Structure 1
Amino acid sequence: MAAGRSPQDDGVRTVVEPVVSGAGLFLEDVRLVRAGGATVVRITLDLPQDEVGSLDSDRLGEASRAISAALDEADTVPGHYTLEVSTPGTSRPLTAPRHFRRARTRMVRLTLVDGSTVSGRVVDVVPAADAAGDGAGGEAVVLDDGSRVALDQVRKGKVEVELKRLEDDEAGAARDGEEG
């Protein structure tokens, strides 16, 4: 059992993980929370780490229906429960290499262990330079200015929301939909 998870969380994870994998998604988190006399089952899904972009609502809805059916069939959660299926969103802290891979093409702000900050657009996550030559260098995030930041030097990382980029993307999509 992972730290912070209950045996009941793990039981639900066992039921929904094959469903989520079968949908081509990644199971980020499973939490069961007591809310008064009821149970809320919170499932967080994400795209696989090699995909760029966001999980769309149609795909999330399909996965949610399949998860609900699997939980009902397995009867893992006793009594009535409310199922909440969501994505991590941009507020998720970047704490694992897969989070940085999922942030490719996005602007990020990194606070380093020495207290300095670095910002830039994530291009890739690659093996970090290993000065000792023993392969124990970990991984580094590559930013759009060509700089590399070893992930073990990042104390805190977060995606920066870009309203201007969203407006530009929406305008481009509207133009693409026009007939000529």
Structure 2
Amino acid sequence: MTAEALTGGISDLVASTLDRLGFDLEEVAVLTPPGRREIRIVVDRDGGVSLDAVAELSRSLEAVFDESDLLGESPYDLEVTTPGIGRPLTLPRHWRRNQGRKVRVEYTDEGVDRTVEARVGPSDEGRVTLVTVDKSRIRSFEVELADIARAVVEVDFGRPGEAALRACGLDDDEIARRRES
């Protein structure tokens, strides 16, 4: 079986379990070190994913693999993880789930290529609001998702101000949660 066919088979195999537990499948990767397969499944869901949820999902998926003959008798290591820093934002749900986070976005605006570091504001299926803070001046603007060439979540060592988070559309509870973390 080709790696592509195996990846597709794994995606199909785990789909119902992920749906039942409320996860979206972001990626399946099959690495084949000598004598063993490593299967990496990247998942996400609205509201984030706790370590306990990843552990529960991992146990559920191991049971699905054990009941299936997709991998035959070959030993495997299963890694269940969530999208990390630097992972591209390519779908509307990625923008929604990263609201308030710092991103680097390369986009085209009226035929001019631009790059900006900003925070993710409200988004929908076709556009996202980006929020920038420059010397305490908060500016927000919309970008069509179709105009974005590349976007990734950036490492954020600073604590954004409350006004910036409000401009991103976050409510009091979410702002308080981020202040605690």
Give me the whole-angstrom Cα distance separating, in 1, the residues matched to 2:178 and 2:140: 29
Q: Secondary structure at the match of 1:42?
A: strand
Which residue pairs with 2:145 in the alignment?
151
Equivalent residue runs for 1:88-103 within 5 Å = 88-103=83-98
Higher mean displacement: 4-13 or 20-29: 4-13
Q: Structure 2: which 5+ runs fail to align?
A: 132-138, 161-174
Q: Structure 1: which 5+ runs fail to align?
A: 128-138, 175-180
CA displacement at 1:72 relative to structure 2: 0.4
Give me the whole-angstrom Cα distance separating, in 1, the residues matched to 2:149 and 2:119: 18
Partners of 2:92 and 2:124 within 8 A in 1: no
Which residue pairs with 1:73 in the alignment?
67
Give me the whole-angstrom Cα distance separating, in 2, the residues matched to 1:56 and 1:62: 10
Runs of 4+ in 1 over 3 A off after TM superposition: 168-174
Equivalent residue runs for 1:28-43 within 5 Å = 28-43=26-41
Give me the whole-angstrom Cα distance separating, in 1, the residues matched to 2:117 and 2:180: 27
Which deviations, in whole Å up to 9, do the C-alpha atoms of 1:59-91 show, x marking residues without a partner? 011000000011101121121111111111122
CA displacement at 1:96 relative to structure 2: 2.2
Which residue pairs with 2:170 in the alignment?
none
Alpha-carbon distance change, 119 to 14 in structure 1, aligned in 2, over 3 angstroms: same
Give me the whole-angstrom Cα distance separating, in 1, the residues matched to 2:97 and 2:3: 24
Q: Secondary structure at the match of 1:156?
A: strand
Give me the whole-angstrom Cα distance separating, in 2, the residues matched to 1:171 and 1:24: 23
CA displacement at 1:115 relative to structure 2: 2.8
Partners of 1:12 and 1:77 within 8 A in 2: no
Match of 1:17 among 15, 18, 21: 15
CA displacement at 1:5 relative to structure 2: 6.5
Alpha-carbon distance change, 77 to 169 in structure 1, aligned in 2, over 3 angstroms: farther
Q: Secondary structure at the match of 1:164?
A: coil
Could you say what the CA RMSD is over the residues aligned between the two structures, in angstroms? Answer: 2.5
Which residue pairs with 2:128 in the alignment?
141
Give me the whole-angstrom Cα distance separating, in 2, the residues matched to 1:171 and 1:141: 21
Question: Matched residue pairs, number?
Answer: 155
